[in-house]
Amino acid sequence: MEVLTGFFIIIAHLAAGNLISVLSGDFLPGSVAGMVLLFISLLTGLVKDWQIRKVAGFLIDNMTIFFLPAFMGIMDLWGMIKLDLWAWLSVVVLT
């Protein structure tokens, strides 16, 4: 039950962040607004760290799954990227 509660807390903050994003005219991405809300909730004690620890740990341990869509997009556009590979690599290194 603790895992479901933690998952619900994280998803609820993400949904609230998405709502704030829509209401603000997409000034701030919903995921960022949700993280800020979760951070504020943790600071104020509204959410206790033990409530989300297991779910947050699982998400961090499996973070590579979240990079798969970006990697697939890079592979899909490899023909374009290959043409200006040095420019892309310099941007990656500089950032």
* Distance (Å, whole) CA 49 – CA 75: 38
Q: What is the reported pLDDT for 73?
A: 87
Is the pTM higher than 0.75? The answer reads no
* Distance (Å, whole) CA 9 – CA 82: 42
Closest CA to 38 of 2, 66, 1, 11: 11
Q: What is the reported pLDDT for 50?
A: 94
Burial (CB < 10 A; 0-12, 13-18, 19+), residue 47, is: buried
* Distance (Å, whole) CA 24 – CA 54: 32
DSSP 84: T
Q: What is the reported pLDDT for 77?
A: 87
Q: Give tens-digit pLDDT for 26-35.
A: 899 999 999 9
Q: What is the reported pLDDT for 11?
A: 96
Q: How confident is the model at residue 1 (pLDDT cuts 50, 70, 90)?
A: confident
Amino acid type, 74: I
DSSP 76: H
Amino acid type, 78: W
